[in-house]
Amino acid sequence: MYKTIIIGATGIVGQQCITALQNHPWFEITGLAASKNSAGKRYIDAIKNQNGSIQWFCKEQSKTEINNMIVEDGDLVNPEKFDVAFSALETNAAQRIEPRFAKFIPVLSTASAFRYEKDVPILVPGVNNEHIQILHEQKKRGWSGFISPQANCTTTGLAFTLKPIQDKFGIESVIMTSLQAVSGAGRSPGIAVLDLVDNIIPYIPQEEEKVSIEALKILGQKSGEVIQNASFKVSSTCTRVNVLDGHTESVLVITSNKAEVDEIKEAMKSFSDCLSDMDLPSAPNQLLTIMDDPFRPQPRLDRDSEGGMTTSIGRIRKDEVFPNGIKYVLVSHNTRMGAAKGTVLMAEILVKEKMIH
């Protein structure tokens, strides 16, 4: 069992990390860290609000032994007590705290703080495992460990679906419109509840830029010690809709080589079991689930398929405007594969690759 600390454990993503790890066969939660305001408190007391109500946001409950653990100050805790860290910090805190841990141990992060640096790959399970070797470049920083950030949750589902198309037919351009769940905004006061009643918010700050930048890095090629971004272009429109969990995306892909619908489906099916021989505890049976029902996928019906770890795809069809255009709709669980649970799956792959030891 790897001794594991969760940094930023009191927030919603930290809570998701707890539920993903508390019964894990490889990782044992032996430390919880948060801000100095939570330090010294039992975890169950650290997540209470001023009125004494417990602020727990996951469907699964935390175990008694987790609730009774004493939370440490993330700025002061000794990283060398642990084998691996899972970071659920906000960006500013991540920039300060994650390098302190990476100096000694691997850090698996949901934060965007280091995603865009040259020696930091954005790893998506099964999509770009060859980029794992880039992590060794971080040793030049004087670190014994590394930082491996999770992709933006909107980019994750998109990357899973683009990979088999890119490999088989090539991609010229991608046009995507997202309908993103409320949970993707976290518990910040940025969106008032009434704003989403009978409404769609047509803009999510920085989301479209993240999708474009991250998709090209994830689907780029490893060239020596760096990643060469993919050469296709990405245009996205990201919106917030009145759905609790599960991001829906309408995607148009212009392929380099002509592809029929059946060929696209076959490429996706062939890719979807690429992790099946690795014996990973958190891996779904299929990374992609192809649906023929024209009314699927739907977030309410499909987001929890395979524990929220598969991306469901439907309405795969030819485009009427672009000769090499293929259209489809996907649903991806933004707080499971797109957040903590996906990070745990990537950690399992890094164990198999002997990057965590």
Local confidence pLDDT in tens for the 357 residues of the chain: 999 999 999 998 999 999 999 999 999 999 999 999 999 999 999 999 989 999 998 989 999 999 999 999 999 999 999 999 999 999 999 999 999 999 999 999 999 999 999 999 999 999 999 999 999 999 999 999 999 999 999 999 999 999 999 999 999 999 999 999 998 876 544 566 678 889 999 999 999 999 999 999 999 999 999 999 999 999 999 999 999 999 999 999 999 999 999 999 999 999 999 999 999 999 999 999 999 999 999 999 999 999 999 999 999 999 999 999 999 999 999 999 999 999 999 999 999 999 999
In the chain, the domains with their CATH numbers are 2-150+340-352 (3.40.50.720), 153-332 (3.30.360.10)
**In the block, residue with structure tokens 């910040």:** 188
Bridge partners of residue 149, in order along the sequence: 109
* First-to-final CA distance of the chain: 10
Catalytic residues: 153, 247
Spatial separation of the C-alpha atoms in residues 303 and 305, rounded to whole Å: 6
User: 């935390």: which residue's tokens?
Assistant: 62
Pairing of strands 247-255, 325-332: antiparallel
Instruction: Let me know: does 218 contact 127? Beta carbons within 8 Å.
Output: yes
